[in-house]
């Protein structure tokens, strides 16, 4: 059975129907956990999608010291990790019934978890699981997070932060960070810690021109924002690619939080910094065969094959642990909510499309998958790290008169009013170009990149600026 055929088939009349049918999990107590058994039920039933930890307990039983499990293996083993495992560091701390007799160490959200038998020696931190690599003299980096400093040269108009800064040095740093395949952020003198896709207006503020008090307070805000974004910085290796004013302001705060601060560009002038990145350039990967564009578009438009978020999560990543394309669909009531917030017509049906797992610029293979993108970022993430969530959250906040994006409310709304189609595509090297052509033909209303500007998208951009969590409208005044 194909992945497309395995998806639900009740979408044909769905936009005009007031009731959806979801694949729900019924609670079956088993050793204090809740197993999942698929049952189609009306949306008035209560959803139970709790992980089953019995297989993990069985796997750990013979372990005498420690064992490291990849995030994907752990997720599949328990039948789907709960959202709190991704967003709350406290989930992994203390004694838990899921792993009795063990504690967790070196937790790397999205990558791996090490379970340590009580009383056993802690594994050496020099033997880290799942090392990430980038090209360089030794073709490796131990960074868990990369921070890139802002620069003076910017576009004259608002843009995603990763595109706003246009100097050669920033572009080299961005390429390095994207190729590393780890979370990365921008250090902005005015906006503190900024996610790459967060839209910013151009500004003119250099951290080195501000007072010591401003830099001290700025550093505290950056460290706190990083903790909030990652859950914890304890045990992380954080590479900082920025000038001394930026590094000095955050170094001790990061260290006091248990992080290791790495400064690969310390003491280097502009020329040597550019050369440093040049030494780590990655040769482009050979071109892969392009998938059939017409077939992909046809599959993305099969409304009768769209499935609910609950049905997608119930697959347990079996079908979607690969790169690919996806499309999101909205029902009649959801379209009305979006229309209210945007003040422009929104029809029930296709509203957004995107990709996961395309080969990065420079040829670096991405670790992203359809499962990770949709489960972790769209349905279980936060709007700072998902442009789709940011768009939806901003529009809904406007329609409801809220002052900020309501994350739990947004997730609940998505489960109630959206459906999706996910199409695995093995040709990751050409996926980015394919997405461009797909978006130009489908023209989903909530997409902003690779499509033509119109009145609705101009309004959406304005709402995203207004409701983005890190958006700061006050202008800092440099003082001596």
Mean pLDDT of 448-452: 90
Q: What is the pLDDT of residue 411?
A: 94
The mean pLDDT of the chain is 77
Confidence category of residue 400, pLDDT binned at 50, 70, 90 = very high
Q: Which residues pair with 261 in a beta bridge?
A: 238
Mean pLDDT of 361-375: 74
CB distance 300 to 442 below 8 Å: yes
Lowest mean pLDDT among 66-75, 96-105, 296-305: 66-75
CA dihedral for 242, 146, 144, 258, sign (positive or negative): positive
Report the first-to-last Cα separation within the chain, whole angstroms.
Answer: 68
The candidate with the shortest Cα–Cα distance to 434, out of 292, 320, 312, is 292
CB distance 415 to 331 below 8 Å: no
Confidence category of residue 376, pLDDT binned at 50, 70, 90 = confident
Write out pLDDT tens, residues 255-312: 998 889 999 998 888 888 888 888 766 544 455 567 888 999 999 999 999 999 999 9
The candidate with the shortest Cα–Cα distance to 324, out of 312, 311, 336, 335, is 312
What is the pTM for the complete model shown? 0.49
Q: What is the pLDDT of residue 2?
A: 37
Better pLDDT: 146 or 279: 146
Better pLDDT: 161 or 141: 161
Q: Tell me the Ramachandran region of residue 46: left when phi exceeds 0, alpha when psi lies from -120 to 50, beta otherwise.
A: beta
Neighbours of 158 (CB within 10 A): 15
Q: What is the pLDDT of residue 350?
A: 97
Confidence category of residue 78, pLDDT binned at 50, 70, 90 = confident
Mean pLDDT of 383-394: 88
Better pLDDT: 235 or 475: 235
Mean pLDDT of 324-339: 96
Better pLDDT: 22 or 365: 365
Mean pLDDT of 78-87: 74
Q: What is the pLDDT of residue 476?
A: 38
Mean pLDDT of 19-48: 31
- How are beta strands 192-194 and 184-188 bridged, if at all? antiparallel
Confidence category of residue 32, pLDDT binned at 50, 70, 90 = very low
Based on the number of CB atoms within 10 Å of its own CB, is 71 exposed (0-12), middle (13-18) or buried (19 or more)?
Answer: buried
Distance (Å, rounded) from C-alpha 34 to C-alpha 26?
A: 8
Q: What is the pLDDT of residue 222?
A: 95
CA-CA distances (angstroms) from residue 389 to 233, 348, 380, 385, 467?
24, 18, 10, 8, 11
Structure tokens at 113: 């978890």
Residue 363's φ and ψ, nearest 5 degrees, are: 95, 0
Mean pLDDT of 373-383: 82
Evaluate if residue 45 carries a pLDDT over 60: no
Mean pLDDT of 393-408: 94
Distance (Å, rounded) from C-alpha 416 to C-alpha 335?
A: 12
Q: Could you give the residue ranges of the DSSP H alpha helices within 49-152? A: 54-60, 71-77, 84-87
Q: Is 439 helix (H, G, I), strand (E, B) or coil?
A: helix
Evaluate if residue 380 carries a pLDDT over 90: no
Cα 296 to its chain centre, rounded Å, is 24
In the sheet that 349-356 helps form, which strands lie side by side, from edge to edge?
A: 349-356, 324-330, 418-424
Evaluate if residue 7 carries a pLDDT over 70: no
CB distance 218 to 124 below 8 Å: no
Write out pLDDT tens, residues 202-231: 999 999 899 999 999 999 999 998 887 777
81 Cβ contact partners less than 8 Å away, ≥ 6 residues apart: 51, 74, 75
Neighbours of 456 (CB within 10 A): 17
DSSP character for 264? T
Q: Is 117 helix (H, G, I), strand (E, B) or coil?
A: strand
Selection from 3-7, 263-267, 364-368 with the highest mean pLDDT: 263-267
Q: Which residues pair with 330 in a beta bridge?
A: 349, 418
Confidence category of residue 402, pLDDT binned at 50, 70, 90 = very high
How many residues are there in the chain?
Answer: 480
Write out pLDDT tens, residues 102-141: 888 878 777 778 888 887 665 544 333 333 323 333 334 5
Tell me which residue has tokens 């009145």: 455
Mean pLDDT of 398-405: 94
């Amino acid at each position: 059975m194909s992945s497309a055929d395995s998806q639900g088939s009740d979408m044909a009349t769905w936009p005009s129907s007031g009731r959806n049918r979801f694949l729900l999990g019924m609670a079956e107590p088993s050793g204090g956990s809740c197993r999942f058994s698929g049952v189609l039920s009306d949306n008035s039933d209560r959803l139970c999608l709790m992980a089953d930890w019995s297989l993990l307990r069985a796997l750990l039983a013979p372990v005498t010291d420690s064992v490291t499990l990849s995030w994907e293996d752990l997720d599949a083993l328990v039948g789907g990790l709960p959202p709190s495992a991704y967003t709350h560091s406290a989930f992994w701390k203390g004694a838990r019934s899921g792993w009795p007799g063990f504690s967790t160490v070196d937790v790397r959200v999205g990558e791996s978890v090490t379970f340590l038998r009580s009383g056993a020696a802690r594994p050496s931190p020099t033997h880290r699981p799942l090392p990430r690599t980038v090209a360089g003299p030794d073709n490796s980096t131990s960074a868990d997070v990369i921070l890139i400093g802002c620069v003076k040269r910017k576009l004259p108009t608002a843009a995603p932060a990763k595109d706003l800064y246009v100097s050669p040095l920033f572009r080299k740093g961005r390429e390095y960070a994207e190729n590393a395949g780890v979370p990365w952020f921008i250090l902005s003198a005015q906006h503190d810690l900024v996610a790459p896709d967060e839209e910013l207006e151009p500004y003119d503020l250099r951290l080195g021109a501000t007072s010591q008090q401003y830099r001290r307070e700025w550093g505290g805000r950056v460290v706190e924002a990083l903790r909030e974004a990652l859950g914890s910085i304890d045990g992380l290796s954080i590479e900082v690619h920025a000038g001394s004013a930026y590094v000095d302001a955050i170094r001790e705060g990061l260290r006091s939080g248990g992080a290791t601060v790495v400064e690969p560009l310390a003491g280097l002038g502009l020329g040597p910094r550019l050369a440093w990145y040049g030494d780590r350039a990655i040769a482009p990967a050979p071109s892969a065969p392009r998938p059939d564009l017409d077939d992909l578009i046809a599959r993305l438009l099969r409304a009768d094959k769209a499935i609910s978020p609950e049905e997608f999560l119930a697959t347990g990543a079996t079908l979607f642990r690969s790169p690919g394309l996806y499309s999101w669909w909205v029902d009649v009531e959801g379209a009305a909510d979006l229309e209210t917030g945007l003040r422009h017509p929104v029809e029930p049906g296709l509203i957004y499309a995107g990709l996961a797992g395309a080969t990065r610029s420079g040829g670096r293979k991405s670790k992203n998958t359809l499962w990770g993108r949709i489960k972790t970022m769209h349905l279980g993430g936060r709007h700072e790290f998902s442009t789709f969530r940011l768009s939806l959250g901003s529009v809904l906040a406007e329609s409801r008169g809220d002052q900020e994006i309501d994350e739990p409310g947004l997730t609940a709304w998505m489960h109630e009013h959206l459906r999706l189609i996910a199409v695995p595509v093995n040709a990751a090297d050409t996926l980015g170009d394919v997405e461009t052509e797909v978006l130009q033909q489908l023209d989903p209303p909530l997409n902003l990149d690779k499509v033509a500007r119109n009145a609705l998208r101009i309004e959406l951009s304005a709402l995203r600026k207004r409701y983005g969590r890190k958006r700061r409208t006050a202008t800092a005044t440099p003082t001596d």
